[in-house]
Amino acid sequence: MTVRTPGAATAPTEARRSGDPADVVRALDLLAGRRLVVLSGAGLSTDSGIPDYRGPGAPARTPMTYQELVSGPAAQQRYWARSHLGWGRMRSAEPNAGHRALAALDPDLLITQNVDGLHERAGSRRVVALHGRISEVVCLGCRETTPRAALHARMDALNPGWAQAQGEAETRPDGDVDLDDTAGFVVPACATCGGVLKPDVVFFGENVPAPRVQRCFDAVDALGDEGALLVVGSSLTVMSGLRFVRRAAKAGTPVVIANRGVTRGDDLATYAVDVGCTEFLTALL
Ligand SMILES: [Zn+2]
């Protein structure tokens, strides 16, 4: 179990984590009745059938970077062919009991690294989609945003029978799929200006928009020592989420991390417990 005063630097190890039910209860007791800011990650959506590619046993993969996407038509064809197939499946995913528990807990702010929109569909009200939403598309030329469903229909019309011909390629949490043969996939351009389209999500190699980050910092700062930051289902691999844990710990705000597997924030947490998201959140509720 990790019980410590914030500030000391220790490398995260498996030994710092605990799956002991008594430690889970202590973590739940610490959170009970406190004002909360919650940071959620891919682990929360695995029970909705969206795989967590950073979770235990997940295969290594390298997502397409922003720089690669804008490198030319071949990369855009490769990206959109896979994403088209992945989104056709992702959009049928439903919120699970963990999403519903968080909606009922109604934290001060729910920061999610997930792009699947399931928190909003479960009824959560104050949500910051840190990495954007896969259900929206942005034009890199005129910056117009449009619904993904409309682009999906255009792609289906331009590529008749293509999705059905791809069989059982594996879906990834960012709406991508494992697919090698993407030659021949027709990629539509922006209907307004002819520009390159991108899902309105933050790619690797892009920064989260500053006002979005500031809103999260403000909510974490407002917690003080009477609130708590709860991290569920994130290994905190990317700085976009880890910085909120650092911010809270530096301010003396308790941090609880509930995740399957080690996280980069374990050494900053008051409790880091090895537990499933749905199980932990329904117990907290
Ligand atoms: Zn445009």
With tokens 């519903």, the residue in question is 100
Cα 1 to averaged position of ligand 1 atoms, centre (Å): 51
C-alpha to C-alpha distance for 106 and 112, rounded to whole angstroms: 14
Across all residues in the chain, what is the average pLDDT?
87
Cβ–Cβ under 8 Å, residues 163 and 176: no
Residue 9 lies in a domain: no
Q: Which residues surround ligand 1, an ion (CB under 5 A)?
A: 139, 141-142, 190, 192-193, 195
C-alpha to C-alpha distance for 17 and 19, rounded to whole angstroms: 7
Cα 196 to averaged position of ligand 1 atoms, centre (Å): 7
Binding residue per annotation — 190? Answer: yes
pLDDT band at 4 (very low <50, low <70, confident <90, very high): very low
Select, from the ranges 56-65, 178-187, 210-219, the one with the highest average predicted confidence (pLDDT): 210-219
Residue 229 has pLDDT above 70, yes or no: yes
Binding residue per annotation — 142? Answer: yes
Cα 188 to averaged position of ligand 1 atoms, centre (Å): 11
Choice among 88-92, 149-153, 249-253 with the minimum mean pLDDT: 88-92
Number of domains in the chain: 2
Say whether both 252 and 161 belong to one domain.
no
Say whether both 164 and 35 belong to one domain.
no
* Residues linked to residue 198 through DSSP beta bridges, in sequence order: 138
Choice among 9-13, 18-22, 104-108, 114-118 with the minimum mean pLDDT: 9-13
Say whether both 181 and 269 belong to one domain.
no
Residue 1 lies in a domain: no
C-alpha to C-alpha distance for 27 and 275, rounded to whole angstroms: 11
Q: Which domain holds residue 45?
A: 14-50+96-132+209-284
Say whether both 194 and 220 belong to one domain.
no
**Helix crossing, 277-284 with 21-31: angle to 10°?**
50
Cβ–Cβ under 8 Å, residues 38 and 110: yes
Q: What is the reported pLDDT for 12?
A: 43
Cα 94 to averaged position of ligand 1 atoms, centre (Å): 31
**Catalytic residue selected from 84, 99, 119, 131:** 131
Our answer to whether residue 131 is catalytic in this structure is: yes
Residue 43 has pLDDT above 70, yes or no: yes
Say whether both 141 and 244 belong to one domain.
no
Cα 213 to averaged position of ligand 1 atoms, centre (Å): 26
Residue 61 lies in a domain: no
Q: Residue 109: which CATH number?
A: 3.40.50.1220
**Predicted structure pTM score:** 0.85
Say whether both 166 and 224 belong to one domain.
no
Binding residue per annotation — 216? Answer: no
Say whether both 156 and 76 belong to one domain.
yes
Residue 70 lies in a domain: yes
Strands 35-40 and 227-232: parallel
Q: What is the reported pLDDT for 15?
A: 47
- The last residue of a domain, from among 146, 181, 201: 201
Closest CA to 55 of 263, 266, 265: 263
With tokens 């954007």, the residue in question is 132
- The last residue of a domain, from among 159, 183, 201: 201
Say whether both 268 and 163 belong to one domain.
no
Say whether both 245 and 159 belong to one domain.
no
Q: Rounded to the nearest 5°, which phi and psi values hold at 78?
A: -65, -45
Cβ–Cβ under 8 Å, residues 209 and 131: no
Say whether both 164 and 227 belong to one domain.
no
pLDDT tens for 154-196 read 999 999 988 777 766 555 656 666 666 777 899 999 999 999 9
Q: Percentage of the chain with pLDDT > 70?
A: 86
Say whether both 42 and 86 belong to one domain.
no
Choice among 2-6, 130-134, 215-219 with the minimum mean pLDDT: 2-6
Cα 141 to averaged position of ligand 1 atoms, centre (Å): 5
Cα 46 to averaged position of ligand 1 atoms, centre (Å): 34
Say whether both 144 and 259 belong to one domain.
no
Residue 161 lies in a domain: yes
Return the H-helix or E-strand segment holding 153.
helix 148-158
Half-sphere exposure (Cβ direction) of 174: Cα atoms closer than 13 Å: 23
Choice among 54-68, 105-119, 232-246 with the minimum mean pLDDT: 54-68
Quick one: average pLDDT of 200-228?
95
Q: What is the reported pLDDT for 170?
A: 59
